Amino acid sequence: MIIVNKNHEKVITMKNVSKHIRLILSTFLLLVVVTSCKSDHSKNTEHELAAYQCPMQCEGDKTYDEIGTCPVCKMDLKQLENDSKALETNEISEESIFNLTSKWHTEEGNEIVLEDLKGKTLVMVMIYTSCKAACPRLVADMRNIEAQIPAENIKNVQFALVSIDPETDTPERLKAFAIENAMDGEQWTFLQGTDSGVREFANVLSVKYKEISPIDFSHSNIISVFNSRGELKHQQEGLGVNNKETIETILELTK
């Protein structure tokens, strides 16, 4: 004969419920603490990376790591907005051209990957130096765009001309072309890649080109604008077209 103590069972059950509730509460508190720590860490990191400067620039471009007043004019220091934008450039999305690993040579003979151009707004076009028809017009369009960018914005813009004829357009030839067209300033870059690298890059830009003779190509006439993370933001297609939207995009990305 088995005797069951129902009151005893009830006590055991209540104890189990109590333990279960305590476990839930402990887990909840742990999550709150962890979340709070992450939030504090994020805020601290943001604060550590912030830079402050006198709004009157009494000391030129000098910046400070902490909030305070200018030692010259005593005005409150202002946080620089560009610091938050600089943080964004560290991230590369799946849509970024910086994911391409192909190697390129500049007109100066330096070997780079596209990611080395990260941090500035990119205005890019594909040409070849022996072209006598469309490319001179594309070059003129690029120079026209550059001429309309204010000085305070131009320092954050890189204009890149990518050759679709890497066999002919050596770094030396690209350098001579840059000088000949007054495009040898710091804001201009010319790139020579490999056949496969050029083809891959053209596919990303939706630029179509085809060799029709040893020194002649047919190709799309597209100028592309990328943000500082290498994401395509605007394309201008055609020759001598109205570049108002292109200019507006560049100004928006560099303000």
In a 3-state reduction of DSSP, which class is residue 219?
strand
- Which amino acid, residue 236? Q
The pair of three-digit structure tokens given for residue 99, joined into one six-digit string: 């994911």
As assigned by CATH, the class of the 93-254 domain is alpha beta
Residue 210 pLDDT = 83
For residue 64, the tally of other CB atoms under 10 A from its CB is 16
21 to each of 12, 117, 203, how far by Cα in Å? 14, 56, 59
The pair of three-digit structure tokens given for residue 253, joined into one six-digit string: 């990305």
Distance CA 188, CA 190 (A): 7
Extents of the domains making up the chain:
43-88, 93-254
Instruction: Give the helix, strand, coil percentages of the chain, each rounded to 5.
Output: 40, 20, 35
Annotate 77-108 with b (16+ C-beta within 10 A) or e (fewer): beeeeeeebeeeeeeeeeebbbebeeebbbbe
pLDDT tens digits, the chain, 255 residues: what are they? 444 444 444 444 545 545 555 655 555 554 544 444 444 444 444 444 568 787 766 776 678 778 888 887 777 887 876 543 444 446 789 999 999 999 999 999 999 999 999 999 999 999 999 999 899 999 999 999 999 999 999 999 999 999 999 999 999 999 999 999 999 999 999 999 999 999 999 999 889 888 887 677 888 899 999 999 999 999 999 998 999 999 999 999 998
Distance CA 217, CA 211 (A): 4
Residue 187: which of 250, 252, 99 has the closest Cα? 250
